[in-house]
Amino acid sequence: MMQEILEYLNKNFDTYTQRARLYPAFLSVLPLFFTAIACYPKDYFTLSVFLGVLNLGGGTFLFAQIGRSLSKSKEDKLFKSWGGKPTTRQLRHINTTNKILLERRHKKLQQLITDIQIPTLEEEQMDPQRADEIYEACTKFLINKTRKIDEFPLVFQENCNYGYHRNLWGLKPIGLTLSSLGLFITLSYIIFVSKESTSPLTITGGIANLLSLLAWIFIVTPNWVRTVAEAYAERLLDTCENLSINNDTNQRN
Please list the pLDDT of the chain residue by residue as tens digits (253 residues). Answer: 456 556 666 666 788 988 998 889 888 888 988 898 888 877 766 666 666 655 554 566 677 788 788 888 889 999 999 999 999 999 999 999 999 999 999 999 999 999 999 999 999 999 999 999 999 999 999 999 999 999 999 999 999 999 999 999 999 999 999 999 999 999 999 999 887 778 898 999 999 999 999 999 999 999 999 999 999 999 999 999 889 765 444 444 3
pLDDT at 197 (0 to 100): 79
pLDDT at 12 (0 to 100): 66
The dihedrals phi and psi of 226, each to the nearest 5 degrees, come to -60, -35
- CB distance 236 to 142 below 8 Å: yes
pLDDT at 20 (0 to 100): 92
Four-point Cα dihedral 136, 138, 139, 140, nearest 10: 90
Distances (CA, A) of 62 to 66, 161, 172: 6, 21, 16
Distances (CA, A) of 42 to 29, 105, 109, 204: 21, 60, 61, 13
Predicted model pTM: 0.88
Give, to the nearest 10 degrees, the angle between helix 200-218 and helix 172-189.
Answer: 150
Q: Which of 212, 174, 172, 171 is nearest to 38 (CA)?
A: 212
pLDDT at 47 (0 to 100): 61
Sketch the domain layout of the chain as residue ranges.
2-252
